[in-house]
Amino acid sequence: MLTEVLNPANYAVTPHSAGPWVVAILIAILGIAALVRERGSKVSLAFCALTMSVAIWLLSAGALYSTLDEPLALWWAKVEHLGVVVIPSLVLLFTLAIVQRVHELRAIAWGSLALSGLFYSSILASDRFIAGLYHYPWGYYARYGPLTLPFLVCFFSVLFGSLRLLQVQLIRVTRGTQQRRLKALLVALAVAYLGAIDYLPAYGIQVYPFGYVPVLGFVVLMFRAVWRYRLQEITPAFAADQIIYTMADALLVLDSERVVRVANQAATQLFGYAKTELVGKPVSTTLGSFLEQEKIDALEATGVMRAYEMHYRNKEGKVLSLDITGSLTRDPAGSPMAFVFITRDITERKRLEEKALQAQKLEALGKLAGEIAHDFETIFTILSRLSLVLSSGLDQNGRVLGKVEEIKKAADKGMELTRKLLAFSSSQRIKPTVLDLNALVTNLRGVLEWVVGKDIDLATRLDPTLGWVRVDLGQVEQVIIKLAANARDAMPHGGKVTLQTSNVQVSAISHHPHGLIGPGKFAILAMSASGWVMDEEVRIHLFEPFFKIKEYGGAPGLELAMVYGLVKQNGGQIAVESQPGLGTTFLIYLPLVEHLIPTADSAVSHHHSAA
């Protein structure tokens, strides 16, 4: 049959078929436009369904008039009536949505739709509805049987009942806009009902079925009504529905039996359950420990619940940090009627707070280390100088001289420790110069190859367009060497260390566990170690003084803490990324020099080095 339907040879387009087609397209466009304008409200959904059913009727009628083959014409007549039999039910549903009585009269609406389904079943299963075809000058037309009489009774009863509902609502309302909208809808529907003249040819009365003309009038009138008054009245109930649907926080409303009665879209997204899985089910069945019985009982007893935070694993297995508040609504007798819970996902906020706390911790440690180091520097300097004085006045072969030299070694070791603490606390004196990081890395290559050893490959990828930076040459060299040494210790079985440079512009502040980056223009010096992988706990605490990295058994010390302090002292920032299979990358951000003025103290050649 499909082949026959799609065969152009079975059709002859005439002016009689063109009219219904044009109106069908216009009314379909009207329905879609109203749906978009009203943003999918219940009224616009009902109106769109109504316009689609009318479009099916008229498109099929046009095809019926142009069909040359009688069996194919009968097929089109049955398709046409798929739209016809549901028109009264959808008019009723649209009217109930307009007067906001869908819930109240839902039984009548569902009954009407069920009756439409029965009528269409009779069309498909027997010839008691469509008994055959007439052939009129304009083309084939359905010939009605005995079942059409009860259908027409239902058809006109529902249509006039819908008009009556609108009329009653018009009498009740007092606001001018509401009255004008209802009047416009009444007029438009009354004009559309004139299309019922198309039933006359189905009983052998040879009257051209110009029902599409009143429908065209309906299109024009409804277009004007929709664009001037809108379909949906903004009532408190409508506003509440829209707020619940669009609110960012998850909303759950439980009845007195702890069964979920309302769950908004945010709740389904947060918990990972479909709305049908939440609504109508006890909250403990679906969401488990999300709302403990003790919390609900406490809310019932006091009427309020202070906001509290908890960790919850949703259906997808993701652990979330949630902030929950609750309230209670009671009936006139004072009994609990509804428990309202609003839940906010604060996982990202908690993560940022933890990062900020870690950065503050490092800053506080730096200040403390700096204060201690300054005091110890004075003590060790005195010890070192006194030991020199003592040693110069002692016999070179004396036992006392050996003890004095041990004192000097201890003092020197203490001085080295204080220098590391000062570096971590960014308290060292620096001599910044404008330099080229590419040249610096190239000049250090021989040293770095010796540091990492023969079991580790060293590679460089240097950006020839890299900008200039103003930093302390010696300190940046220390940073690179110490990172390379730590990479070597982390890869006892060999691997690859890669140094890479690039320019980057950070447009917004970026949070990471060791501080804030941006905004601004930076030169990035990245050092990657292929075989060095660390977990999140290690990554967060990596730059703390005396933090021990258990993976490669290094003694706790200040090497990486010094790296952190030296980078900070030169106005930069350092971030760490680590992923299994990719290794660990240290990203050093150094501010670019906006306007380069060559000076005599520039520490590195002004010519960029190639990788």
Is the pLDDT confidence value at 114 over 60?
yes
Q: Are 338 and 253 in contact (CB under 8 A)?
A: yes
Q: How confident is the model at residue 606 (pLDDT cuts 50, 70, 90)?
A: very low
Q: Please identify which residue in the block is written with the tokens 């940046």.
A: 476
Question: Do residues 142 and 133 make contact, with C-beta atoms less than 8 angstroms apart?
Answer: yes
Please give the backbone phi and psi of residue 548, each rounded to the nearest 5 degrees, phi first. -100, 130
Question: Which CATH number do you get for residue 101?
Answer: 1.20.1070.10
- The CATH number of the domain holding residue 340 is 3.30.450.20
Whether 43 has a pLDDT exceeding 90, the answer reads: no
Q: Is residue 265 in a domain?
A: yes
How far, CA to CA in Å, does 591 sit from each of 190, 347, 523, 541, 567?
74, 32, 6, 25, 11
Domain match, 144 and 19 both: yes
Identify residue 135 by its one-letter amino acid code: H
pLDDT of 386 reads 55
What per-residue confidence (pLDDT) applies to 279?
85
pLDDT band at 179 (very low <50, low <70, confident <90, very high): confident
Say if residue 308 is in the same domain as residue 375.
no
pLDDT tens readout for residues 267-294: 888 888 888 888 888 888 778 777 777 7
Q: Give the pLDDT band (50/70/90) at residue 368.
A: low
Helix axes 559-569, 399-424, angle to 10 degrees: 50
In a domain, residue 600? The reply is no
Domain range enclosing 117: 2-234
Residue at 596 is within a domain: no
What pLDDT is attached to residue 511? Answer: 52
Q: How many domains does the chain have?
A: 4
Which tens digits make up the pLDDT trace of 395-426?
555 555 555 666 666 666 666 655 555 554 44
Assess whether pLDDT exceeds 70 at residue 427. Answer: no
The more confidently predicted of residues 576 and 355 is 576
Sign of CA dihedral 432, 558, 351, 553: positive
- Choose between 228 and 210: higher pLDDT: 210
CB atoms within 10 A of CB 358: 18
Cβ-based burial of 2 (10 A; exposed 0-12, middle 13-18, buried ≥19)? exposed
The 10s digit of each residue's pLDDT in 535-577 is 887 887 777 765 655 444 443 356 787 788 888 888 888 888 8
Domain co-membership, 475 together with 495: yes
pLDDT digits (tens, 9 = 90+) for 567-588: 888 888 888 888 887 889 999 9
Give CA–CA dist 373/380, Å, rounded: 10
Considering the domain architecture, whether residues 179 and 269 belong to the same structural domain is answered as no
414/372 Cα distance (integer angstroms) = 12
* DSSP letter for each residue of 161-176: HHHHHHHHHHHH--SH
Choose one of 179, 207, 234: the last residue of a domain. 234
Residue positions counted in the chain: 611
